[in-house]
Amino acid sequence: MKKMIFKLVGALSLLLMFLTGCTNKIAVLNPQGPVAREEYRLIIWSTILVGLILAVVIILFIYMLVRFGRKNHNHYEPENDGNTKLEITWTVIPIIIVILLAVPTVRVLWNLENPPKAEAASVKPLTIEVTSVQWKWLFRYPDQKIETVNYAAIPEDTCKVCPACP
């Protein structure tokens, strides 16, 4: 009975996983400006890296279950007191992972911190007041007397400061 319940819960979980995100109109994955494109690249990079790490962990977990899971281990007898190579490995791997996540993030944030100033003086800034409301965002354009929910729209001729803008 318990096996059948676990199989049913697993099948329902798998079904729910396939039913989520059934649209191609997700705002986060549709960047429309240079800042959004850079942040999108960071999201994709971190997702791929985390996916690779998860795949390695799952493979190692299944390997350990198959190799050592069914044996009767009543006591633990280590072959040696410590393994310097393993200790260095599981110290260095997290450091490499942090570097692989931190370097692109710091690079992008550093570049986005200081916008180009060449034509900034000639372009009138667009003021957008953003308010977070529970489960949504409210964007208010005081000069145009417009408000939008969960969608920020920037007029086409507003941004001519950076070369990435169309």
- How large a percentage of the chain has pLDDT more than 90? 28
Q: Are residues 36 and 110 in the same domain?
A: yes
| 37 and 64 part of one domain | yes
Residue 25 lies in a domain: no
pLDDT at 119 over 80: no
**Residue 79 in domain:** no
Q: Report yes or no on 59 lying in a domain.
A: yes
- Does 148 lie in the same domain as 102? no
In a domain, residue 9? The reply is no
Answer yes or no: is pLDDT of 45 > 90. Answer: yes
Q: What is the pLDDT of residues 149-159, one digit of tens each?
A: 988 877 766 65
Which DSSP symbol is given to 92?
Answer: H
Write down the pLDDT at residue 143.
86
Q: Domain check: are 36 and 65 in the same one? A: yes
| The most confident of 3-7, 29-33, 58-62, 83-87, by mean pLDDT | 58-62
Residue 97: pLDDT band (50, 70, 90) is very high
C-alpha 133/C-alpha 53 separation (Å) is 35
Using the predicted structure, report yes or no on whether residue 87 has a pLDDT greater than 80: yes
Between helix 34-68 and helix 84-113 the angle, nearest 10°, is 170
87, part of any domain: no
Tell me which amino acid residue 75 is: H
Q: Is the pLDDT of residue 124 over 90?
A: no
* Count: domains in the chain: 2
Question: Same domain, yes or no, for 36 and 59?
Answer: yes
Q: Which domain holds residue 148?
A: 126-152
